Amino acid sequence: MNIRLITHQDCEKFYQLIEENRIFFRPYFPKTIEQITDLSSAQNFINERINVNLLRQGYYFIIEIENQLIGVVTLKEIDWQESICELAYFIDKSQEGKGIISKSIKEVILYCSNKVKLGKIYARVSPSNVGSKKVLEKNGFTKEKILLNNFKNANGAMEDVEYYEKQIN
């Protein structure tokens, strides 16, 4: 398994990951799915994420196994004054339950602690996403609260989310 920052060369593989998992990802990542409709929009999406990486406004990592792009882990919504950021992630449906996303998050947490030097990471999770909650708990996150009407789902309705947090520095 390899985890690294996304590059321009990842466009086709990234688009393929989205296309093959569009229905699976849509409930949890509706904006991303809406934005990426073809190879050109995938390239635009990646260009934006590379700029975000360069400006230190966020970090967009890809997960690879045997040169196949199978997932993404993101540090976003960085607040440098409060030393906190949001964690988000998704993985190819065929790779779920293998511990890959858990190991990837562990690596990204180390990156966040050692290179980015933030003190806290949080994640917002759908109450129905049991697997994601288990991944967070396995990585030392604690459920802190429920945020009411905090996430606009794929149908445009507002949903509650569970807020998890981890102190890292």
pLDDT score for 154: 75
Distances (CA, A) of 64 to 1, 10, 147: 6, 10, 33
pLDDT score for 56: 93
pLDDT score for 157: 81
pLDDT score for 158: 87
Taking a C-beta distance cutoff of 8 angstroms, is the pair 144, 164 a contact?
yes
pLDDT score for 150: 84
Are β-strands 158-167 and 120-125 bridged in parallel, bridged antiparallel, or unpaired? antiparallel
pTM score of the predicted model? 0.92
Domains and CATH numbers, the chain: 2-167 (3.40.630.30)
The two tokens of residue 134 are 């288990």
**H or E segment at 103?**
helix 100-111
CA within 13 Å, CB half, 11: 15
pLDDT score for 71: 97
pLDDT score for 155: 76
Distances (CA, A) of 67 to 10, 45, 50, 97, 157: 10, 21, 20, 20, 38
Distance from C-alpha of 135 to C-alpha of 133, rounded to nearest angstrom: 5
Distance from C-alpha of 44 to C-alpha of 67, rounded to nearest angstrom: 22
Residues of the chain with pLDDT under 50: none
Taking a C-beta distance cutoff of 8 angstroms, is the pair 113, 88 a contact?
no
Distance from C-alpha of 77 to C-alpha of 8, rounded to nearest angstrom: 22
